[in-house]
């Protein structure tokens, strides 16, 4: 359905995330993946969705001078927001375990932003989902980190993995957003491109 509406457009996904790739495939889009490294630091005064918006836009910057009129660039970022702190991807095993200890027994927000960029404009889609974790014991945290290695995931967890099955008590909002891509909002925005 989207494919016919975007006929003549060259969709570029600037993400190495297997989950984002999966979602675009499931939406029936033809696209190519292009990757460029960026510095994922952000100004310390940014809060919540301002961080994910900033990073999604920053990821588009290296491509701006090479976009052609029929190109549609998709960049995205997801953060976990807990007690006024952004939990991004963990740097190592200890960092991953520390993040999960912080999330244990708490409610947090998962915020994803997607920048849709063409030569004429840039639009940002942002989604926030509230997630409540049960109290995780140290053995559960160790087992998850050592077996699932969540080093490419904001907040050190994937809702679609073991920790999500046993640890998440409830969510309020989009499940797919917690996986890292606000599919429904993205669909609505890109179909009107």
Ordered DSSP codes for 58-112 = HHHGGGGGG--TTEEEEEEEEEEEETTEEE-S-SSHHHHHHHHHHHTT-EEEEEE
Beta carbons within 10 angstroms of residue 167's beta carbon: 23
| Global pTM exceeds 0.85 | yes
pLDDT at residue 154 in the model: 94
What would the pLDDT profile of 131-177 be if each residue is shown by its tens digit?
999 999 999 999 999 999 999 999 999 999 999 999 999 999 999 99
Taking all residues of the chain, what is their mean pLDDT, rounded to a whole number? 95
Rounded to the nearest 10 degrees, how much is the dihedral formed by the CA atoms of 180, 150, 45, 115?
-30
Q: 6: pLDDT confidence band, cut at 50, 70 and 90?
A: confident
Per-residue model confidence (pLDDT) at position 191: 87
What is the predicted pLDDT for the residue at 1? Answer: 66
Can you list the domains of the chain with their CATH numbers? 2-191 (3.90.950.10)
- Report the catalytic residues: 77
pLDDT tens track for 35-63: 999 988 999 999 999 999 999 999 999 99
Share of the chain above pLDDT 90, in %: 92
Two tokens at 115? 């920048």
């Amino acid at each position: 359905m989207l494919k016919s509406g975007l006929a003549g457009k060259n969709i570029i996904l600037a993400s190495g995330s297997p989950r984002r790739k999966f979602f675009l495939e499931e939406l029936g889009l033809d696209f190519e993946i292009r990757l460029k490294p960026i510095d994922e630091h952000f100004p310390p005064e940014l809060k919540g969705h301002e961080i994910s918006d900033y990073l999604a836009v920053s990821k588009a910057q290296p491509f701006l001078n090479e976009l052609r009129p029929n190109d549609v660039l998709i960049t995205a970022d997801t953060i976990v927001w807990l007690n006024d702190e952004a939990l991004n991807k963990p740097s190592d095993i200890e960092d991953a375990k520390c993040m999960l200890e912080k999330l244990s027994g708490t409610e947090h927000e998962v915020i994803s932003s997607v920048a849709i960029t063409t030569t004429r404009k840039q639009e940002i889609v942002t989604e926030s989902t509230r997630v409540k974790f049960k109290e995780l014991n140290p053995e559960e945290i160790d087992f998850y980190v050592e077996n699932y290695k969540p080093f490419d995931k904001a907040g050190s967890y994937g809702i679609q993995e073991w920790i999500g099955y046993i640890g998440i008590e409830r969510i309020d909002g989009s499940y797919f957003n917690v996986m890292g891509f606000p599919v429904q909002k993205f669909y609505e925005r890109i179909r009107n491109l």
